[in-house]
Amino acid sequence: MTVTLGINGFGRIGRSTLAHIAEAARNDVQVVKINATGPIETSAHLLRYDSVHGR
């Protein structure tokens, strides 16, 4: 059974949650919406270059 997930906010916790789901290659979790302010390019940059976890 697939869990449908929406992330409300793309701050520290939202980015960490999405990164964990992606790294764990979870096939049973589907992220369908991320509610974030600002352009998508900024969110992608913050996810890709995480200074806290060294990515």
- pLDDT value of position 50: 79
Q: Residue 11 belongs to what domain range?
A: 3-48
Check: CB of residue 29 under 8 Å from CB of residue 21.
yes
Between 9 and 54, name the one with better pLDDT. Answer: 9
Q: Is residue 28 part of a domain?
A: yes
Q: What is the pLDDT of residue 54?
A: 62
Which tens digits make up the pLDDT trace of 1-49? 899 999 999 999 999 999 999 989 888 999 999 999 999 999 999 888 8
Domain assignment present for residue 32? The answer is yes
Q: How many domains does the chain have?
A: 1
**Prediction pTM value:** 0.79
Q: Is position 55 within any domain?
A: no
Nearest Cα to Cα of residue 35 among 49, 4, 14: 14
**8 DSSP β-pair partners:** 35
In a domain, 54, yes or no: no
- 33 occurs within a structural domain: yes
Q: What is the residue type of 29?
A: V
The Cα–Cα gap between 37 and 30 comes to 21
